[in-house]
Amino acid sequence: MKHATQRIWGGRFAGEPAEAVRQFTESVSFDWRLYRHDIAGSIAHARGLAKIGVLTNAEANQIIRGLRAIEKKIEAGKFAWDPALEDVHMNIEAALGPVGRKLHTARSRNDQVATDLRLWVRDARIHTVHACRDLMRALVALAEKHRDIVIPGYTHLQRAQPVLLAHHLLAYVEMLHRDVQRFIVNVELESPLGSGALAGSTLPLDREFVARQLQLAAPTRNSMDAVANRDFVLSYLFAAAVCGMHLSRLAEDFILWSSAEFGFIRIGDAYTTGSSLMPQKKNPDVCELVRGKTGRLYGNLIAVLTVLKGLPLTYNRDLQEDKEPLFDSADTLLASLRVL
C-alpha cells in the first residue's frame, strides 16, 4: 500500500520530487477554492460508477457520505490541506481513505479539474450577475431620487449640452445591462467527465446521466477538446474586464464630480479617506481603487490568453496557471461592484 502522501503518478519513480519542485508545482494553496465543485463532481462520478456496476451501491453511498463529511470539515476550517498531495483533488480523495481510490476509476485529474472549473465559473457568473443587478438598482434609485436635477453634459470633457443627472446615471445602467448579458451568454456548460486524461474510457460510462447530476447541459463531444478547453474561463475574464472598464468610467465621473473644480457631488465620509498631512483633504480613494483595479482585470485576461496561445493538445501543466487569474478577477470585480 502506498503511503498517504505518495503521489498518484509515482508508480515508476524511485524517489520523491525535490522540495523546491514540490513547492513550485503544488496548487492546493489556491485551488482549494474548488472544493465544493470537486466534491459535487465526485458525487456525480460515484453515482455514475454505481449505475454501471463498477461500485456497489453501498460503496457509492459510503463515498458520498465521506465526501459530504469532508465538505463540512472544510467549511468549518478543520480540514488539513497537505501540499505533498499537490492539489484539491488528491487531498479530498486521500481523505476518503481506501475507498477513495476506487473513485479514481475511469477518471483523470484532467477531466476532473475541467469539470470543477466549469462548475466554479457557473457559480461565479451567478454571483457577478446578482452584484451587477444590485448596482443597477442602486443607480436607478439614485436617478429617481434626483430626477429633476440638471447637470452639464460633456464631449471632449468640455461642457456641451444640459442633461438630466438621471439620464447620465442611467447610461451606466445600460452598460451594466450589457455586462449581465455577457455573463449569462453560453451559460449552458457541458460536462467533461468521462473524457479521462484525453481519450475517454473503455468502461461503458453513462455520461448523460453524470451531466444531469451536475445540471450541465450535456456531455462534451470531443474528449481532447474537453480537457484542453478553457474558453469558458476566457469568456468570464473578458466579461469581467469589460465590466471593470464600465465601473472605472463611473468611478472617474464620481472622482471628477466630487472635486472642487466640478463640485457636483459630495461623497460620504464612509467612502472617502483623509490626508495625514493636509487635514482639509477628502480623498475619493474607493473610486480611485475601483479605477485602478480595472488594470488587474485586464492583466488577468491577458495572462490566461498568453498561457493558452501556444499549448498543443491536450492537457499541459501550464493550465494550472488559469486559476489564480480567474479567482482574482472574480474577487476583484465583486468587491468593486459591491463597494460602489
Q: Are residues 137 and 95 in the same domain?
A: no
Percentage of the residues of the chain whose pLDDT score is greater than 70: 96
Count of structural domains, the chain: 2
Assign 218 to helix, strand or coil: coil
Q: How far apart are CA 305 and CA 235, in angstroms?
A: 11
Supply the pLDDT for residue 1: 32
Among 225, 224, 190, 191, CA closest to 205: 191
Whether 3 is catalytic: no
- Nearest Cα residue to 241 out of 280, 177, 293: 293
How far apart CA 94 and CA 185 sit, in angstroms, is 37
One domain for residues 145 and 191: yes
| Domain containing residue 57 | 10-105
For residue 10, what pLDDT is reported? 56
Q: What is the pLDDT of residue 83?
A: 95
Q: Do residue 121 and residue 97 come from a single domain?
A: no
Active-site option among 275, 276, 329, 336: 275
Task: Give the end-to-end CA distance of the chain in Å, rounded to a whole number.
Answer: 55
pLDDT digits (tens, 9 = 90+) for 165-210: 999 999 999 999 999 999 997 567 999 999 999 999 999 999 999 9
Residue 281: inside a domain: yes
Within 10 angstroms of residue 155's Cβ, the number of other Cβ atoms is: 8
Q: Is 127 a catalytic residue?
A: no
Statement to judge: residues 116 and 137 lie in one domain: yes
Helical segments of 103-230, H only: 109-145, 165-184, 207-213, 223-228
Q: What pLDDT is recorded for position 212?
A: 97
Q: Note whether 187 and 38 are within 8 A (CB).
A: no
Domain match, 257 and 131 both: yes
Are 231 and 307 within one domain? yes
Could you tell me the pLDDT band of residue 275, with boundaries at 50, 70 and 90?
A: confident
**Confidence label for 8 from pLDDT (cuts 50, 70 and 90):** low
Cell of 245: 472598464
Nearest C-alpha neighbor of 239 from the set 307, 190, 176, 169:
176
What the block records as the C-alpha cell of 202 is 473503455
Distance, in Å, from the CA atom of 206 to the CA atom of 328, rounded to the nearest integer, reads 35
298 and 188 together in one domain: yes
**10 Å Cβ neighbour count for 317?**
8
Query: Of residues 29, 146, 156, 336, which has the active-site annotation?
Result: 156
Question: Would residue 4 count as lying in a domain?
Answer: no
Q: Indicate the residue among 65, 82, 105 that finishes a domain.
A: 105
